[in-house]
Structure 1
């Protein structure tokens, strides 16, 4: 099965569907605190969703990705955090997450962003060019699951802090 995937910016009408997709995508994930839907809502409320994309198949929202600004202790500007990214379980492993990530990264580059970082599965995000960068850390997160991708060749050094919305828990 290779569905026709449409990737587009979220609209107000998508908010409920995004919440449902996010809850379903993380429901059985052991490493999740199951707060992802609250994080997205907090980022949206703070107007910190720099990029928020949905994936549609047959007019139904089946995936979502969020990008928001991060702060880096060395003063490097214009870096963003990727996440959460969610795909309904029945639609996973069909290229939808990949399409969301690629479109999101492309839009960041179009905005002249300098780079992007995330906490995620090592085997997955390396294929997009993300890597562990010595000297760039996210406190409380093992280095092997913290990844960054520089768009301009400059690798910041310091501690990355995600938006306060990432502390939302309901």
Structure 2
């Protein structure tokens, strides 16, 4: 399996993959694929990595800028992460995440945050101490990993593509 940066021409395969990966998830509102298109269109798709085998894209990860209390401070958000349903639980998502985090570190990022299950993301080093919030969401789901500096404190905000008005025009 090869993990590489997204290339021109991958957009539709990433869109289809993301739709199929999130379709069976009860928590999904179907916005994940349009969010990726919107991040790309707005220039906020900092890293877009795919896992490829024999020319087929099996997984994808998006990383984009975030703010904490309104300040970017070189922090990024992880997600969406997508793996073909029949290929899940084989380490593809983990490999994408670890590669993406390493690439962020190499670029001088201070850290990465996400919204997700502590049971899943703690396995790759994410944690929560309740000091980072996202709206009214249970703070245990608001997780981070620090590359340099102190742990984040305050209100996490993702790129505008994650807001409903940020991606509604991107449904294609």
TM-score, normalised by the number of residues in structure 2? 0.93
Q: 2:150 aligns with which of 148, 151, 154?
A: 154
Q: 1:47 aligns with which of 14, 39, 43?
A: 43
In 2, are the aligned partners of 1:74 and 1:157 still within 8 Å (CA)? Answer: no
In 2, are the aligned partners of 1:69 and 1:81 still within 8 Å (CA)? Answer: yes
Local SS of the residue matching 1:12: coil
Is 2:106 aligned against 1:90? no
In 1, are the aligned partners of 2:78 and 2:114 still within 8 Å (CA)? Answer: yes
Q: How many residues align structurally? A: 166
Is 2:111 aligned against 1:115? yes
Q: Which runs of 5 or more structure 1 residues have no equivalent in the other structure? A: none
CA distance in 2, matches of 1:11, 1:140: 37
Aligned-residue RMSD, C-alpha: 1.2
In 2, are the aligned partners of 1:76 and 1:156 still within 8 Å (CA)? Answer: no
In 2, are the aligned partners of 1:65 and 1:86 still within 8 Å (CA)? Answer: yes
Kindly state the Cα deviation for residue 57 of structure 1 after the two structures are TM-superposed: 1.4
Local SS of the residue matching 2:10: helix
Q: Superposed, which structure 2 residues align to 1:1-170 within 5 Å?
A: 5-73=1-69, 75=71, 77-167=73-163, 168-169=167-168, 170=171
Q: Which runs of 4+ in 1 moved over 6 A?
A: none
TM-score, normalised by the number of residues in structure 1? 0.94
CA distance in 2, matches of 1:133, 1:107: 25
